[in-house]
Amino acid sequence: MQQLDWSPDGLRLASASQDGLVRIWDASRAARVLARQNLRARLSDLRAKKKFQEAIDLLQSLPADENETAPHFRPSSDHRGNSANATVQVPDLSDDLEVEMLLQQFQLDRARQMVRDGELDAATILYRQLSADSPELPDPRLLLADALFYPGNEAKALQWLENVVAESPENEDYGDKLAFRYQLAAISLCRAGRFDEAVPILTKLAGRFPDRRDFRPHLAALMAVAHRLKETIAMFEKVTVPPAWPDYRPELARRLLALLNDPEVVAFYRQMTADFPDVPEYRRGLGSVRLTDGVALFSAGDWQESLEPLSEAVELLAPLVISESQGPPDYDLTNRLWEAYHRRAGSRLNLGELDGAIADYSEAIRVVPDDPMPYCWRAVAYLKRGEIDKARVDCEAYLKLPRSCGCTPLAQTLAERLRPGGAPKWALAVARKTVELSPESAEAWKSLGLLHVAAGDRHQAAIALKQAVELAPGDESLRSLLDEEPRQTTPEEPKQ
């Protein structure tokens, strides 16, 4: 390896092998990156300590980026020939641009600090200078207005901005800023729970800018996120708005749809449903969230607690499905009502309310006739009530439906209720279908085995029970059944 060239600063090296392959190593970029990181850390520390002028002095003392003229040596590729072919001129203006942006930011920070220190004249001069140097910045008065709005100074800042708007009523930017600041002041007061203080500000906002968009939906939606919707709506009753402004609540309802799990929003939707009974969106939104609440309680095993939200979901959604029957089907709405009925039926079944469960399963079947689940569970309810014939009808309907679902509890209930008197073919068919759809369920295989026992088929019973034991080897009750059942005889065989 033969050395060809060192750069004067010792950061760049070009070397070549005997075959003429030239390689370039460049440490200058790493040095620049490290220096930049150190500078940023220093500036961050100065900002944290609010030493804005010191940061400005530091940035202004930086030399121009020498890399605009200096070549960059890149190690990413090999070059054949002499080292001159390896130098690449790459102008890099990003450093200068970053310095300019940082300098502007620290100057704005310094001006804001001046405002807080009461140096308004000095801050105004600085803002004018910044606006002149950077046309993309807002008007100096707007910059000063923003700086005036610091905690505890909102009232004075609003009055100052009022005076600016009065002096230049034709300037729309000033009016926009005043309207924006009115809203921010009201939001800040509402978040602090000072609703009575926000009333005159909002009244003044509505009176001064009657042609602007109604602020109430936006403000109420923000307060709903802060769980202060009820207080905000009560406050609006005290705010005087132009007579031409429409009812804000429909727009608010649209904005709150994503927050329908909040109790205050639920109460608002209930009121909207009462006030606007002909608007289906309110019933649908509230019904959907109450369904979600009920399903969560049902899934947690809180049967009694789930009845109230599920019943409300049924009450809200059922009229919508009836009205939809006159037009194109709304499958999402229909499925929601089906689930409300089905889940409420499940809660009632678990609570032993068999009549109510059967009634709800019947409604679920009426809403979605081709879903097999309500047939399965209504058959369970009929079996628990001792109505075998009605259970048979449901089981046969379940077997004929094109849609399939496993229903191990039905197979278990059939094995419990029919075993003493024998197992009819339709019961065995249900159990077989259950193991086909749930082959990993030990309970399904156990139920099939017990029904085979009841039917007198010892061989099939042994096969099914053996499968159950393999799936649940730790279940001693299954082992005892496997040991016991093959010894039982069919009615046609003499006892040993």
Let me know if residue 121 belongs to a domain.
Answer: yes
The answer to whether residues 118 and 199 belong to one domain is no
DSSP 495: P
Among 251, 269, 287, the domain boundary falls at 269
Q: pTM of the prediction?
A: 0.61
End-to-end CA distance of the chain: 101
The whole-number pLDDT of residue 101 equals 87
pLDDT of residue 35: 75
Report the DSSP pairing between strands 79-80 and 87-88.
Answer: unpaired
How far apart are the C-alpha atoms of 25 and 10, rounded to whole Å? 11
Q: What is the pLDDT of residues 30-47, one digit of tens each?
A: 667 777 788 888 889 999
- SS3 (DSSP) at 89: coil
**Cα(342)–Cα(310) distance, rounded to whole angstroms?**
10
Helix (H) or strand (E) holding 2: strand 2-6
Least confident of 13-27, 71-85, 86-100, 480-494: 71-85
Query: Please, are residues 430 and 410 in contact by the beta-carbon 8 Å criterion?
Result: yes
Calculate the alpha carbon distances from 425 to 41, 215, 431, 447 in Å: 82, 69, 10, 14
Q: Quick one: how many helices (H) and strands (E) in the chain? A: 23, 6
Q: Which of 139-143, 269-273, 341-345 has the lowest mean pLDDT?
A: 139-143
> For residue 178, what are the contacts with CB-CB under 8 A and spacing of at least 6?
158, 161, 162, 164, 165, 208
| 130 belongs to a structural domain | yes
**Mean predicted confidence (pLDDT) in 356-373:** 96
**131 and 4 share one domain:** yes
Which pLDDT band, with edges at 50, 70 and 90, does 492 fall under? very low
Q: What mean pLDDT, rounded, does the chain reach?
A: 84
Please state, in angstroms and rounded to a whole number, the distance separating the CA atoms of residues 430 and 423. Answer: 11
pLDDT at 292 over 50: yes
Residues 8 and 120 occupy one common structural domain:
yes
Q: Identify whether residues 214 and 252 lie together within a single domain.
A: yes
Q: Binning pLDDT at 50, 70 and 90, where does residue 317 land?
A: very high
For 14-70, the DSSP string reads EEE-TTSEEEEEE-HHHHHHHHHHHHHHHHHHHHHTT-HHHHHHHHHTSPP-GGGTS
Residues 80 and 208 both lie in one domain: no
CA dihedral of residues 317, 322, 323, 328 (deg, nearest 10):
100
Residues whose CB is less than 8 angstroms from the CB of residue 148 and which lie 6 or more positions away in sequence, other chains included: 115, 156, 157, 160, 161
Model pLDDT, residue 334 = 94
Strand partners, 26: 12
Q: What is the pLDDT of residue 411?
A: 93
Give the pLDDT confidence of 258-267 residue by residue, as tens digits: 888 899 999 9
Query: Are 111 and 163 in a shared domain?
Result: no
The answer to whether residue 130 scores a pLDDT higher than 50 is yes
**Residue 109 falls inside a structural domain:** yes
Claim to verify: residue 120 and residue 201 sit in the same structural domain: no
- How would residue 139 be classed by pLDDT, with cut points 50, 70 and 90? confident
pLDDT for 421 beyond 80: no
Tell me, yes or no, whether 435 lies in a domain.
no
Domain boundary (217, 239, 269) is at 269
CB 179 within 8 A of CB 158: no
| Domain-terminating residue out of 117, 140, 163 | 140
Cβ atoms < 10 Å from Cβ of 150: 12
Domain-located, residue 302: no
Rounded-to-integer distance, Cα 54 and Cα 101, Å: 16
Q: Which domain holds residue 74?
A: 1-140
Residue whose tokens read 């039982």:
488
pLDDT of residue 2: 54
Specify the pLDDT at position 86.
Answer: 37
274: in domain: no
Does the residue 85 lie in any domain? yes
205-261 pLDDT per residue, tens: 999 999 989 999 999 999 999 999 999 999 999 999 999 999 999 999 999 988 888
- Please give the tally of structural domains in the chain: 2
CA separation for the pair 74, 24 (Å, rounded): 6
Whole-angstrom Cα distance, residue 477 to residue 394? 30
Dist CA 324 CA 232 (whole Å): 35
Residue 13's pLDDT is 57
Inside any domain, residue 405: no
148 pLDDT tier (thresholds 50, 70, 90):
confident
Q: Is there a single domain that holds both residue 132 and residue 206?
A: no
Q: Are residues 93 and 226 in the same domain?
A: no
Query: Do residues 89 and 20 share a domain?
Result: yes
Q: Are residues 168 and 239 in the same domain?
A: yes
Q: Which of 169-173, 251-255, 339-343, 411-415 comes out lowest in average pLDDT?
A: 169-173
Q: Name the band, by pLDDT with cuts 50, 70 and 90, for residue 426.
A: very high
Residue 5 has pLDDT above 80, yes or no: no
237 in the same domain as 190: yes
Those residues whose C-beta lies under 8 Å from the C-beta of residue 45, and which sit 6 or more positions away, are none
